[in-house]
Structure 1
Amino acid sequence: MSSREHILAKLRRNRPQGPALPDIHAVPFITFDDKFAAFQSLVRNLGGDAVELPAGGSVHELVAQRWPQHGRVADLSVPGYEQADSPHLWNDVDIAIVPGELAVAESAAVWVSNADNRYRSVYFLTQKLVLLVPRHAIVDTMRDAYDRISVREHGFGGFISGSSRTADIEQSLVMGAHGAMAALVIFI
């Protein structure tokens, strides 16, 4: 046994016991009378927007009204959409329309996941991200969301909220620094 292995084995044997985890069910959590209104208000504060698709409305018409001048649109909500074997093939996507599994009113976050990892780079390379979420799939808190989601063994999942932005010490705000410059959540 090397000295490194000896030291690591000794550390493992003498590891202190951590504190007891708190009972998350002991404290009442937030509930919203109107989950959509809470989500919409918060996502707007984060630089995004949320709308409900009108009855008989089209996602593509709604997107075209919002951004009439655009380049390449990648609609990944359509089964069998073009395959991208390399993440670099998404570098010129102006608008990406992607399915979201659920939305969280507390944080204005949308859970996105896919089983084969093919599309995850488009979430961050696109200029405008459109997330499609079923109307019934909105929960109050992140705790409620974690009760409903699962990350597939070889899949990808993450919460996306609002448009990407960052600011430096001089408070210079930069939109799209590490993701989409604009985000639109459409409840369908």
Structure 2
Amino acid sequence: MYELFKTKASAVGAEVHRVGGKIEAVELIVSLLKDENVVDLPGCRAVWAEGTFLNGIDRGALKELPGLSFEVTRERAAQAKVGISEMSFAVADTGSLVQDQSAAADRLASSLTDIHIALVPSANIVPDKVSLFSRISPRTSRYIAFITGPSRTADIERVLTIGVHGPQRLVIIFVDGLEGVSR
């Protein structure tokens, strides 16, 4: 299912990676932040929304990265270049990510920044929406968001513009070994 998801997501402009565990995921994220010149200046910062992925991660080393904050507020996210958040599921046949965005930090990190880095447990790739809806409950999932590729819109003249209403770039990182993790 990973290959189908990758094909579908790549077709709409997302970048898709798969790593063997948390350590490799953190290394990739640090590399991406450095490549994007994340520093402690407005428009150059990064925000990382709290989630289960961060359990057991040495935040001390991450906090040494200039411009990275784990405190996600509207102001910080609006001034951030990169937002990092966890996704609950990935739907293979559409290349879509699914996130319970009940927490405001998840919405802010995934929609106000220019670049969104999405972390997804590899085990949470589902084949289609029918499979997805059999795994989520309306009682516990109050605010479900589907994300398919970078933000895009077209005006009345059908001119496609990327990033007007959200991130211009979507980087998806599937992390093996996070079985059973969902938000």
TM-score, length basis structure 2: 0.72
Find the counterpart in structure 2 of residue 139 from structure 1: 126
Shift in Å at residue 167 of structure 1? 2.0
Q: Is the 2:151–2:163 Cα contact (8 Å) retained in structure 1? A: yes
> Can you give the 5+ residue segments of structure 2 that lack an aligned partner in the other structure?
39-43, 60-69, 176-183
Once the two structures are overlaid, the 10-residue window that deviates more, 155-164 or 115-124, is 115-124
Match 1:50 to one of 3, 11, 16: 16
Q: Is the 2:85–2:106 Cα contact (8 Å) retained in structure 1? A: no
The reply to whether residue 170 of structure 1 matches residue 157 of structure 2 is yes
> Can you give the 5+ residue segments of structure 1 that lack an aligned partner in the other structure?
1-34
Q: Is the 2:151–2:168 Cα contact (8 Å) retained in structure 1? A: yes
Q: What are the equivalent positions in structure 2 for 1:1-188 lying under 5 Å apart?
A: 35-54=1-20, 57-66=23-32, 68=35, 69-70=37-38, 71-76=44-49, 77=51, 78=54, 81-84=70-73, 87-151=74-138, 155-188=142-175
Inter-CA distance 83–97: structure 2 relative to 1 (3 Å threshold): closer
Higher helix share: 2
Q: Is the 2:116–2:170 Cα contact (8 Å) retained in structure 1? A: yes
Q: Identity percentage over the alignment?
A: 25
CA-atom RMSD, angstroms? Answer: 2.5
Q: Is the 1:117–1:156 Cα contact (8 Å) retained in structure 2? A: no
Inter-CA distance 111–55: structure 2 relative to 1 (3 Å threshold): closer
Classify the secondary structure of the residue corresponding to 2:107: coil
Q: Which amino acid aligns with 1:125?
A: L
TM-score, length basis structure 1: 0.70
Inter-CA distance 73–105: structure 2 relative to 1 (3 Å threshold): same
Inter-CA distance 172–106: structure 2 relative to 1 (3 Å threshold): same
Q: Distance in 2 between matches of 1:152 and 1:121?
A: 23
Shift in Å at residue 153 of structure 1? 5.8
Q: Which amino acid aligns with 2:7?
A: S
Shift in Å at residue 123 of structure 1? 1.8
